[in-house]
Structure 1
Amino acid sequence: MEHRVRRASGMAGVAAAAILMIGGCASTPAAEETVPTPAGSEAPASPTPDPQESAPRESATEGFLAWLDSSRRPDAAKACAGLTPELAARMLTELNATSPVRAESCEQMITATAELYRALGQSAEVDVAVQRETDQDAVLFVTYADSGDCGTVTMSRPGTSWVITEQTQECGR
C-alpha cells in the first residue's frame, strides 16, 4: 500500500543531492535516573516501564520528516544523528566536489545547506511515497515540490529511531 504525505516546513530545499546525501551518527540514549531509597524502606518490586516501549513507534515517513525538519532549522547534531556515517561521508564528498560551499563535518554541511535553502527561498514541501516498510527498515520515494528533485530514501531502525542509510540515492543515479 502506498502512502503519500505532503509537508511544508517553512524552510527550503536547494537540491536533492544535499537532502538525500546527508549522513551521520547514531543518537545516544539518555542514562536512566535512579531514585535513592530511604533507609529502612524496600525498593519497588517491579522496574519502572521504559517510556520508549510504551510510546507509539514513529513511521519511517515521520522519521524522515523529523530529519528534514532538523536539517532545515538547523539542528545539526540531531540531523547528523539521523544519518549513517557512510552517508554523511558521501554527502560531504559530493557537496565539496559540486558546490562552492565547503564543509569538513556533517554538522558544517547541515548548517551550510540550511543557509543555502533559506537564501534561495526553496520550500521543503515534499511528497513521500512509502515503497516498503517493516519495523526494522523502509524505502521511501521522496519528491521535492518546488524543484521536482527526487530520490529513494533507504532507512533502518537499529533502536527506537530511524536512520537514513548509505543506500539512499537521487533519481537518475
Structure 2
Amino acid sequence: MNRLLVLLLLLMAGLGACKKSADPLVQYKIQAGIDDKIISDYVAAHPEDSAKRIDTSGVYYIVKTGEGGAGNDLFTSSTTITVGFTGQILTTGYTFAQTSNFHPSYTLGSVIRGWQLGIPEIKKGGKVRLLVPSRYAYGPYAQDSIHLPANSVLDFNIQLYNITN
C-alpha cells in the first residue's frame, strides 16, 4: 500500500512539473528571449541600418549619418528632453503614438527605460531610432488607452529638439 502511495505521489509530482511555470522570473526570461530574437532577426534582415546594441540591454539604436546632433550634452535622470517621436510595434508596424507639430517635454528619468538608454546616444538636434524589447518598455502590462498589447517590442523614431539640465 505504501509503495502504491509513493508511486502515485511521484506520478503527480512529475505531471505537476509539466505545467507552464507561473514563476515571474521564468516568464521574464522566456519573454526576454522572444524579444531578443525578434529584434536580432530584424537587425539581421536590415544590415543597411547599422544598428548598434546598447551594452547587454537588448536595446538597439540607429543614428543616420549626419543626424546625431551637435554639442556636448550631459544626460542625467533629471535632464528635461523635448522630443518629437513616432512609436510603433516592431512586429506589426502599428503606430500607437505620434507627435506632429507638438513637441512634448519629459524628464529623462520618467520615460521608459529604453528611452533612458537610447536618447543619450544623440545630442541636441539629433535623430535616433530605438528598437526596444518589452522589458525596457511596458513589459507584461498592456496599455489599453493606446491599444498596445502586453509584451510588445517597440520601434521609436525620435528627434531630440532640446535638452535642459
The TM-score by the shorter chain falls in which range?
under 0.3
Of structures 1 and 2, the one scoring higher in RCO (CA 8 A, sep 6+) is 1
Question: Considering only CA atoms, is the larger Rg found in Structure 1 or Structure 2?
Answer: 2
The structure in which a higher percent of residues are strand is 2
